[in-house]
Amino acid sequence: MIFYSTNKQSTPVSLKKATLEGLASDGGLYVPSAVPRLSSEEIELLREAPFNDIAFAIAKKFSDGEIPDSSLWEIIESCFTFKTPLIELKKNIFVEELFHGPTLAFKDYGARFLAHLTGYFAKEDQKLITILVATSGDTGSAVAYGFKGVPNTRVILLYPSGKVSRLQEQQLTTVGGNVTALEISGDFDDCQRLVKQAFMDGELKQRLSLTSANSINISRLIPQTFYYAWGALHIALRHPGNKAVFSVPSGNYGNLTGGVVAKMMGFPIEHFVAGSNANDSVTRYLEEGRYEPRPTVATLSTAMDVGNPSNFARLKHFYNEDHRAMAADITGCSVSNQETLDTIRSVYDRFGYIADPHTAVGFRAMERFNEEHQTPRHPSVVISTAHPAKFLESIREALDMEITIPDRLQDVLDRKKVSVPMSCDYRDFADYLSKL
């Protein structure tokens, strides 16, 4: 399969080149020349299939023979060794838990797939690949653990100082080995800007063989279709003739874009609700048709604190720049900090379920959508993106209780933080990279 830049000013490339480049040379994001569609017969064969079979079927469409089936299956089997539970809280209300991977966040799906794919391609070329990652929280730790020990790779994480939870910071800064954390004096948009500027620095990019593990990388996006396909097929099994409405906590919009691609591939999805926090540039676009990014605002749902989401470029591409078409598929909903805390409390009181702040945003957005669209009533699936133990302060404030911290997180808390403080001036960042 061939991949093009959303800016349409660079040469089309293979999956390998798109993965190893991360960002196109013209600054655009890679997208497939056409979203591969599965026939109704292919969908039917996957209806009761295990998660990894569904993942393989989708990945094979995008690989299109570039990776041998046996190698692709080994990658899938190595990546997804954990469960993806779909929990019914009450009739027609589900939670799809995506936090059962190594770092207890949904980013494990994309990061592990990308790490194994990058390792596969790097081994072919026998060269050292440098991975740059801007993170607002969970992306960095998922990438760090995904790439840890992968031959021919080194990872540089950029995270905003003081703007991630303590557990997230500990996960980012205690991996060691081939992973280095840079603590940036700024916000997530500053981190993302530094990474993009490095990719536009031709000499630096070529010398270090730079690539990205952010959701700007097409091989982070592809595996995000897997869990939407899985969830949609299971909903169809439980509710024959009904398609799912997915409510997605949205920050950089890679998660939502993965769902959109799964829908375009033919999986039974009715609609999306994009829950945002105060960083609501896409929500306002969906409502008004004007895209006006604003500076990032700090909120309780820290991983969604993105003022100018990169993946909005992909969304516009997939909907042919048509606001009406996008708004027909996606309803935006902005949720305040107070609503987030109230929803954590409400969900626990009603269902005995503890939701982290991001999942709470998804819950509240779904509730608003259902209040406004009573008929027809489709099964609602809230995408749960992180284990609540990663946000102890918010859970304590909302529920006035302590929750058990999983052993793998407690172990991280006991380690010594190791990070490199850095300004958000690109000259300082470029100077650091030039000395690697």
Residues with catalytic function? 107
The CA distance from 337 to 343, in Å, is 10
Tokens of 399: 């529920």
The CA distance from 7 to 26, in Å, is 7
CB-neighbour burial class of residue 416 (10 A; exposed 0-12, middle 13-18, buried 19+): exposed
The CA distance from 107 to 63, in Å, is 21
Determine contact, residues 150/118, Cβ cutoff 8 Å: yes
* Residue in 401, 408, 50, 352 with CA at minimum distance from that of residue 230: 50
Tokens of 251: 């920050």
Determine contact, residues 382/363, Cβ cutoff 8 Å: yes
